[in-house]
Chain A
C-alpha cells in the first residue's frame, strides 16, 4: 500500500507544472542571472593590475632624473609592473583624471593639483605638510651625495631638489592609496638615506646599491586550496533557497491530506489507509521530486555556470538531501499550523523562505557572516543559513567539524518540524467541512 500511495503521489506532484516551475526553473533562472550579473566579479574587481597614472611633463619633472628613473622602473612591463604611466602636459593629465582614464596625477614642483577647487590634505595631518617639504629638501641634498658613482649618478648635481612631489586624485580608493604609498616610499627612502649618511657618510655607495634592490619579506601561505571568492556565497544561498522551496511540495501534501482544505483531502481522510503511512508516502514523494530538482540545479551550476563546490561530491549530495528534507518538513509544518486559505499559507511560506534566504546571504552576501558574529543563535535555527554554511564549509575548510554541525542541526530541525506536523495531523476530526 505504501508504494501505491507513493507512486500516485509522485505522479500528482510531477504533474503540478506551476510548482515545478516555481521550485526548479525559478532557481535555474536566478542562478543564470547571478552568473551574468556577478559570476566572476570578485576576481575582476580584486585582481591587481598596473595602476594607471599620469605624470606631469614639466621642467621640474624632466630635471628630476632619479625620480623619473624610479617611475620608469615601476612601469616596466612584466610581472612586477606596478604603474601604467603616461607622461603628458598638465592640462591633458587633468583631462585624463576627469575622464577616469587615470587614477592619479603625479607632479613634481607642486603643480599637480593646481585647480582652484582642490582640497589639500596631508594624510589627515595638516601640520605635516611643511615638514614634508623640508624633508624633501634634505632628500635632494642626499641625492647629490649618494649619487656619485652609482646608478643615480647621472642626476647628481642636476636634481632641483627643492621641488615637492604631489599626487592629485579624484576620489578615495585602493589604487589611489597605492599610488600614494609608492610616492611616500620614495621620499621616505630619501629620508632614510639622509639620516644614515648623517652618522655614517662612508655608506653612500652601498646605500645606493641597496636602494636598487628592495628585498621582499613576505611569503604567501594558505590554509586551504579554496579561492576565497565572496560571490560564491550568493550561489550557496540560492541553493539553500532551492532546498527550502521543497516546502512547496510539503505544503501541497498537507493541503491534499486535510479534509477541511481540499476535496482530495476529504476523500483521503476517509480512506482506510493509516494516516502515518499516507503522510510518510507523501513526504517521500515530495522529497524525491525536490531532491531531483536540487540535483539538477547543482549540476547546472557546477557544469554550465562553473560554480565551485569543492571536490567532495558525496557530501555535496548529502547537503542537498538534508536541505530538501528540511524544506519538505517546513512545508508540512506551515501547512498544518498556519490557519487560512491555501493562498494565505503560500504567501506566508514565500515570505518566510525569502526572509530565511535573505539571512543566508541571497540578497546581501555579508549578512550570513554578520548574523554568525552578532546573533549566532539565529544562524543555528535558520535552515537556509545551515544549508549555505554547509556548502561553504565543504568548500573552504579541510576539516568536516563545521559541516557535520550544520548537517546535524538541519536533521534536528527537520525532526522537530515533522514530529510537530504529524502530531497535529493525526486523529484530526472535523465537525463540518
Chain B
C-alpha cells in the first residue's frame, strides 16, 4: 500500500486550503442555522414584516396608537432616527418599511387637515403594499369614529378613538392552512439548508483534494518514474482510487457529523437523516469524478485553483445552492439541468418534502440520485478515456 500511504502524505500539502474551505462552510452553516426560520407554528400565521417606526409626534395620541397597532401586526425593529442607518437597514432588508410620523401629525389628523405618514420603502414591493393596507386601515377606522362616532356635541379624545379602532381591528377572518399529506407548507427546516450548502463544501474540498493528488502523480518526471517502478500500473491506479474514495468518504463523514452537531434533534425527528446523507454521499462521488478530471487536465497549482473555484462557485450558483431554484428564471433552470449540482439540490428539496416513505414520494429522490450517479459515471469515463490517450501520446 505504498501509493495509498503516499496519497495522504501528498494530501497533507493541501491541508491548509482544505481547512479554510471547511471553515468557510462551517461559518456559513452556523450562520444559516442561527438565522434559519423557526419551526412551523402549526397553523397559518400572517407574515410579520420588519418595520421601523420613527415617531416624531411623540405626544400625539393617534401617532402612539398607530405605533401600538403596527407593533401588533408587524415586527417592529428599533433603529435610531439616522438616515444612513435606516438606508443601510432598508438596503439589507433588515427592515422593509420605514414609517416616519411627522411632528404634529395627530393634531392635524384630528382637526381634519391634510396629513400623511411618510414612508421609505422598496419601491413597488409587495411588502410595502401589505404595510400600506394596515396603516390606511387603522387611520381610516379612527377617522370614521372621529367623524361619525358620537353625537356632534361630544368630542372623543384621541386615546378613546384609538381604543375604539383597536377594538374594531381585533376581529379577523379565519385562515385555514391546508395540510398536504401530513406536512404543512412553510419554510424548509434548517437541516435542509445545511445539506443544500454541503454541495459547495463538497465541491470545493473533494475537487481540490483529488485534483491536487492527480496533479502530483501526473507530473511528467514522477509519472515516468512510477511507470518503471516494480509496482504494476494497475495497482497504482487501484490504490489511488482507494485513496480518492477514503478522502471523499472522510469529507462526507465530517459534513454529516457536523449536521448532527448543528441540527441533530430536528434531523432525527424528521427521520430523513439517512436520505440526506445518502444524497450527499452520491454527490461526493460526483465531486470525486470532477476532481479526477481537473487533476488530469490541469498541470499547475494556479490553474488548478482557478478551475476548482470556477467549478465550485459556478455550479453552486447555477445549480441553486446559494439561491433557491424556486426563484431562478426558467431559462437558467433549463440550462442548470446539465449540472449535477442542480440534481443534488432537487433531490435535497424532494427529501425535505417527504412525509411518508411511499413509492410516490421516494421516486423523485432516487431518480435524482440515479441522475447524479450517471453524471459521475460519464465524467469518470470521459476522463479515463482522454487521460489514457494523453498518457500514451506523452510517453
Contacts and interface: CB of A to CB of B under 8 A. Distances in A.
Given A26-B306, A170-B180, A358-B28, A129 B174 contact: yes
A274 to B, nearest CB: 29
Contacts of A219: 116-119
Nearest to B14: A347
A22 B135 contact: no
Given A18-B306, A33-B318, A343-B301, A124 B179 contact: no
Contacts of B88: 369, 372, 396
B332 A36 contact: yes
B124 A352 contact: no
Contact of A112 (B46, B176, B314): B176
A346 B306 CA distance: 11
A227 interface: yes
B172 A192 contact: no
B43 A187 contact: no
B81 interface: no
Contacts of B27: 358
Interface stretch (B161-169, B232-240, B362-370): B161-169
Interface string B184-202: 1111000000000000100
A131 B13 CA distance: 70
Interface centre among A49, A124, A350 (most CB of B within 10 A): A350
Contact of B136 (A123, A215, A402): A215
A70 interface: no
Given A41-B327, A177-B47, A181-B130, A192 B24 contact: no
Given A41-B323, A348-B17, A98 B180 contact: yes
A232 B310 CA distance: 20
B44 A350 contact: no
B185 A171 contact: yes
Contacts of B117: 217-219
A176 interface: yes
A120 B87 contact: no
Given A217-B116, A396-B91, A184 B171 contact: yes
Interface in B289-318: 300-303, 305-306, 309-310, 313-314, 316-318
A97 B301 CA distance: 53
Contacts of B144: 192-193, 196, 207, 210
A217 B177 contact: no
A203 B151 CA distance: 10
Interface residues of B, number: 110
Contact of B121 (A207, A220, A372): A220
Nearest to B37: A172
Contact of A200 (B32, B151, B176, B310): B151
B180 A222 contact: no
A180 B332 contact: no
Nearest to A347: B17
A74 to B, nearest CB: 11
A280 interface: no
Interface in B83-100: 83-84, 86-88, 90-94, 100
Contacts of B323: 37-38, 41
Contacts of B94: 369
Interface stretch (A160-168, A406-414, A415-423): A160-168
A79 B121 CA distance: 18
B173 A195 contact: no
B268 interface: no
Given A170-B185, A188-B137, A132 B328 contact: no
Interface of A: 18-19, 21-22, 26, 29-30, 33-34, 36-38, 41, 44-49, 82, 94, 97-98, 110, 112-113, 115, 117-124, 128-129, 131-132, 135, 164-178, 180-189, 191-193, 195-196, 199-200, 203, 206-207, 210, 214-224, 226-228, 230, 233, 248, 341-344, 346-348, 350-352, 354-355, 358, 363-370, 372, 392, 396-397, 399, 402
3 pairs of A and B residues whose beta carbons are closest in the complex: A351-B20, A113-B176, A171-B185
29 contacts: A29-B310, A46-B126, A47-B124, A47-B126, A113-B176, A119-B43, A121-B175, A124-B41, A132-B174, A170-B177, A170-B178, A176-B44, A181-B133, A181-B134, A187-B173, A195-B145, A195-B168, A210-B147, A217-B117, A217-B140, A218-B118, A218-B136, A248-B302, A344-B16, A347-B17, A351-B21, A351-B24, A355-B20, A355-B24
